[in-house]
A and B are shown apart, each in its own frame.
Chain A
Amino acid sequence: MPRILKPILAVPFTLLFIFALAILPHLFQLNGGGGLHLDWSGSMSSVKDYFAGIGTGESFRFISGRKELSFWEQIGGYFRTSLFYIAIGALAGTTIGILVGIYFSLSRAAWLKRGVDLAASIPDFVLIILLQSLVIFVGKSTGVFVFKFASISSKDPAIALPLISSIIIPASYMIRSVALQMKLTMTEDYINVAKSRGFSKPHIVFFHALPNVLPFIKTDINKLLGILIGNMFIVEFLYNLRGVTKLLFTDTFSNNGYQYALAVNGLLALVIVYTVVYVLLRIYLWGWEKVFSR
């Protein structure tokens, strides 16, 4: 298969996946007797309704609380919020990850590495909750609130703390994966050759080892983005940010039942965020390669 076909083929698969994923809450139904049954016909009809509703615009209206809203009018703000945090998290996380990862692979400070490893094994939601309570604790005891710990209204959102939270998690993943690859690269013979030719340590690290580590980082982008988007659900929920994932989990299950169209549209918006950030990251890493590989 030609390489150019792969990304094009990914589109129908992604669409299929989204339609299938969004149908799951419809498919699994509980009946009164305490059993689980699969509601195929109801599921099929809601997929049909979605396609029928595209023409009439019905698929792009949703109920939030007691109001009926238009998806197109609402999505802009949600989309920008999510894109902002995920893009910054991805770019800053990768940068920190590469630099600190290199440092970790070389340094002998074992306790530091152990500390980061341990912190990385603690789930993201625990870190965020602890971060929030730390800010509250410092604020209460000194009277100075360094950061806002949650958004109370959309006009006055908390920015710093969610940003820190969405950078820490990808960064800690990147640090470990870069440090691991870097260490493996350091055992290669060409590093020994470079050393014996008298190159300086920084030169070997950046111009001999790093170019061989960057491809591994490139293959890791998908996983990194997966972590970021999963993390975004938690960040947006705990900081009360109005992002795409917030739209998904607050309004898809409304009082009138499950809104299939909204789930599909929200997931599509999330995929677009994913794609944009993916392209951004590829360009960013391409820049790194331009500088360090020759």
Chain B
Amino acid sequence: MNKTLAIGLAITAILFAAALFGQWLAPYDLHHQLKIDYILDDSGKGYLIAPPSPPGSDYPLGTDKDGYDLLTKLLNGARYTVLLSIGIALARIFIGGSLGMFMGYYGKQTVKPASGSSSWNMLNGIPVFIISWFVLRGITTNSSLSPLSLSLLTGVVLTAVGIPSVVSSVKGKTQVIRDRQFVQAAQSLGAGHWKIVRSHLFPHLKENLLVLIVQEVILVLALFGQLGIFNIFVGGTTMYFDMLEYHSRTNEWGGLIAQWRDLKGIYPWIFYYPLAAYILLIMGLHFIAHGLEAMYKKRYAKFSHL
């Protein structure tokens, strides 16, 4: 275990814990609201209290424009951000990885390194963002579905759009391993397909798959935020018509950043604290991916001649 991996695991573990237990750790209830108030102190001086309150002793990260505690919102949104993104990544790798392994193993063509454009390559050219936007645009705003079912629906959509790239990556790697000599040796010794997949293909792919999972989580998190920019929040959007505003129903972090991006000049804490949480999560995952890669490289890689 190297330092990078350890740091990444520590950061991610803390945020994962926040996702699991966040709603019980939150200092306030989600409905607790700081209202406009006028207070007279002992010397007769008056203070006007109006949301948003900057970070202070009452509200560690301050409140948002409507007077809701930011830390509470972040802790409540964490489970959508962390758990859903990891869930989507796992589903993508499970489905895409099995398909890719299957297609790589049974596919007839042998590996042609870098041979123009295959049809799976073309699929990579379609930005997944566009597809998810078209599917979700009509159903997330002021939806009659519950936040949980909308989140699950988003999860299914984001899983589906991410599968092609996983398939093409796993397929390519499988083909390389399939043509290696030890697989041919196993075949000629009479090993069945299942045996080869289980004790030759998968063990050689598992490191790749592990790194791929972590990278997919980062991609999913980016997608959450990008959709948020277009007012499609994970778990649904509440749209207010009187003063046109879009609010995330689940307080998912990517959504919070997108929702408050215009406030960064006026009330910086409202924008920068959610952003910090989001970037921290991405950095934690990035360190894990890098740490794993470094670990495996030490074990397996060849060295540069130059």
**A interface, CB within 8 angstroms of B:** 3, 6, 10, 17, 21-22, 24-26, 28-36, 105-106, 114, 117-118, 121-126, 129, 133, 136, 183, 186-188, 191-192, 195, 201, 204-205, 209, 215-216, 218-219, 221-223, 225-227, 229-230, 233-234, 237-238, 249, 253, 258, 263, 274
For B125, list chain A residues within 8 Å (CB): 222-223, 225-226, 274
* Complex: A92 Cα to B134 Cα, angstroms: 30
**Interface contact tally, CB-CB below 8 A:** 143
**Chain A: minimal CB distance from B270 (Å):** 13
Q: Is the CB of B138 within 8 A of A219?
A: no
What 1/0 flags go to B196-229 for Cβ under 8 Å of A?
0000000000000000000000100110011001
Main secondary structure of the interface of B (DSSP, over half): helix
Q: Is the CB of A219 within 8 A of B116?
A: yes
Q: Is the CB of B129 within 8 A of A32?
A: no
Cβ of B243 < 8 Å from any Cβ of A?
A: no
Whether A136 touches B138, Cβ cut-off 8 Å, given contacts A36-B145, A225-B125, is: no
Q: Is the CB of A24 within 8 A of B121?
A: no
**Chain A CB within 10 Å, residue with most, of B137, B218, B303:** B137
Would you mind naming 8 contact pairs between A and B with Cβ atoms under 8 Å apart?
A: A17-B126, A36-B139, A123-B282, A125-B222, A187-B301, A191-B306, A223-B165, A229-B130
* Complex: A238 Cα to B258 Cα, angstroms: 11
For B229, list chain A residues within 8 Å (CB): 125, 234, 237-238
Q: Is the CB of B114 within 8 A of A218?
A: yes
Count of residues in B whose CB is under 8 Å from the partner chain: 53
* Complex: A219 Cα to B285 Cα, angstroms: 28
* Complex: A140 Cα to B246 Cα, angstroms: 28
Q: Is the CB of A253 within 8 A of B138?
A: yes
Q: Is the CB of A187 within 8 A of B226?
A: no
* Contact with B139, one of A30, A105, A183, A188 (Cβ below 8 angstroms): A30
Main secondary structure of the interface of A (DSSP, over half): helix
* Complex: A166 Cα to B303 Cα, angstroms: 35
Cβ of B1 < 8 Å from any Cβ of A?
A: no
Q: Is the CB of A25 within 8 A of B303?
A: no
**B interface, CB within 8 angstroms of A:** 113-117, 121-122, 124-131, 133-135, 137-139, 143-146, 153, 165, 218, 221-222, 225-226, 229-230, 257-258, 261, 264-265, 275, 278-279, 282-283, 285-286, 290, 301-306
For A30, list chain B residues within 8 Å (CB): 139, 143-145
Q: Is the CB of B305 within 8 A of A195?
A: yes
Q: Is the CB of A123 within 8 A of B137?
A: no
Whether A126 touches B275, Cβ cut-off 8 Å, given contacts A186-B304, A201-B306, A226-B124, is: yes
Q: Is the CB of A222 within 8 A of B283?
A: no
* Complex: A234 Cα to B303 Cα, angstroms: 40
**Chain A: minimal CB distance from B20 (Å):** 24
* Contact with A187, one of B122, B127, B146, B302 (Cβ below 8 angstroms): B302
**Chain B: minimal CB distance from A187 (Å):** 4
For A22, list chain B residues within 8 Å (CB): 134
* Complex: A17 Cα to B301 Cα, angstroms: 41
For B128, list chain A residues within 8 Å (CB): 230
Whether A226 touches B126, Cβ cut-off 8 Å, given contacts A126-B225, A126-B279, is: yes
Task: List 7 extra interface pairs beyond A118-B286, A133-B265, CB under 8 A.
Answer: A187-B302, A187-B303, A195-B305, A215-B113, A216-B114, A222-B122, A222-B124
**Chain A: minimal CB distance from B7 (Å):** 12
Q: Is the CB of A118 within 8 A of B283?
A: yes
For B230, list chain A residues within 8 Å (CB): 233, 237, 249
* Contact with B282, one of A35, A122, A227 (Cβ below 8 angstroms): A122
**Chain A: minimal CB distance from B276 (Å):** 11
* Contact with A34, one of B127, B146, B304 (Cβ below 8 angstroms): B146
